């Protein structure tokens, strides 16, 4: 009896760790990533990945933080369609978006040239860092770099057309995918919905310009890189407000002679109280960006 209970308990546990895709529209779904930093508990499941089902294939947008995560989404996609995941698009070079690539042996993997180069250059370093943070969840993860470079404004896969926008600001190369047929905008990490923006490779000025461009698109559904999907322009507006706040806070602090610790003592402005991870991401951004602002204003 004891073993029977244990057996059912383990089944329960297994199911709990399975990933459930959330429907976006008639032919696409996304896996919602937890709004947390990398940890052993979340196994690196912290970014959104999405997929579009075409006539004969599946197009996967980003692959998560590890081979294990890649295998989990592969299993979950199989429950919805028997069509092969023939195409993958990596939106940018951050480890929570491409380290699941090696779960997909036969897929064609697209990215921009910059993203491919960064993956080849820093991929192994990302793996070392993540082994420290998420431990066993990284088992089997190896670098599988993109094998097709994107340069065209339109990508036609299996007769399915996607518009590509080559933007920057979150990183030096942020690829945005617009599905005109369903009016779905896959914004990559240029948009975080109510999750505080991560800025380790950010150029704040360019990021705002890119967001202003996205704001003009007549989309019906926005799939952000982090946070839940949205049917409004609100997440983009909030991201612009946050980036302006970060920029002016740093500029004013340096003018007033405040150090990093004095900036971090300030209370959270009302408009960002609903943002998840505000304290840690704001702190990370200030520590990261302060030296370059100091240099620029001197
Ligand atoms: Zn990112």
* CA–centroid distance, residue 183 to ligand 1 (Å): 23
Over range 207-212, report the average pLDDT: 98
Closest CA to 247 of 194, 212, 199, 214: 199
Note residues around ion ligand 1 (Cβ under 5 angstroms).
94, 189
Percentage of the chain modeled with pLDDT above 70: 94
* CA–centroid distance, residue 215 to ligand 1 (Å): 19
Over range 266-285, report the average pLDDT: 95
Question: Each residue of 55-71: pLDDT tens digit?
Answer: 999 999 999 999 999 99
* CA–centroid distance, residue 220 to ligand 1 (Å): 23
Contacts with 295 (C-beta within 8 Å, 6 or more apart), sequence order: none
* CA–centroid distance, residue 171 to ligand 1 (Å): 7
Question: Each residue of 216-266: pLDDT tens digit?
Answer: 999 999 999 999 999 999 999 999 999 999 999 999 999 999 999 999 998
Confidence band, pLDDT 50/70/90 cuts, at residue 11: very low
Separation CA 291–CA 60 (nearest Å): 38
Separation CA 85–CA 59 (nearest Å): 6
* CA–centroid distance, residue 141 to ligand 1 (Å): 19
Global pTM reads: 0.93
* CA–centroid distance, residue 81 to ligand 1 (Å): 28
Q: Are 103 and 19 in contact (CB under 8 A)?
A: no
């Amino acid at each position: 009896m004891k073993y029977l209970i244990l057996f059912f308990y383990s089944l329960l546990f297994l199911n709990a760790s399975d990933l459930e895709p959330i429907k976006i529209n008639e032919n696409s779904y996304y896996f919602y990533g937890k709004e947390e930093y990398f940890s052993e508990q979340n196994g690196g499941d912290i970014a959104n990945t999405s997929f579009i089902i075409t006539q004969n294939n599946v197009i996967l947008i980003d692959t998560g933080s590890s081979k294990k995560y890649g295998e989990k989404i592969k299993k979950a996609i199989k429950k919805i369609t028997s069509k092969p995941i023939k195409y993958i698009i990596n939106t940018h070079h951050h480890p929570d978006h491409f380290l699941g690539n090696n779960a997909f042996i036969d897929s064609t993997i697209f990215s921009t040239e910059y993203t491919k180069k960064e993956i080849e250059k820093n991929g192994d370093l990302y793996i070392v860092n993540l082994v420290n943070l998420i431990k066993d969840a990284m088992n089997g993860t190896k670098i599988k770099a993109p094998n097709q470079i994107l340069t065209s404004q339109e990508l036609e896969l299996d007769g399915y057309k996607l518009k590509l926008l080559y933007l920057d600001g979150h990183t030096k190369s942020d690829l945005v995918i617009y599905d005109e047929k369903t009016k779905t905008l896959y914004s990559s990490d240029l948009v975080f919905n109510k999750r505080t923006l991560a800025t380790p490779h950010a150029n704040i000025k360019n990021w705002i310009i890119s967001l202003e461009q996205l704001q003009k698109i007549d989309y019906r559904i926005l799939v952000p890189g982090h946070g839940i999907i949205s049917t409004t322009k609100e997440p983009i507006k909030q991201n612009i407000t946050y980036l302006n706040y970060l920029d002016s806070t740093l500029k004013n602090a340096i003018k007033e002679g405040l150090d990093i610790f004095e900036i971090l003592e300030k209370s959270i402005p009302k408009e960002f109280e609903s943002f998840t991870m505000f304290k840690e991401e704001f702190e990370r951004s200030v520590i990261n960006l302060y030296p370059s602002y100091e240099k620029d204003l001197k």
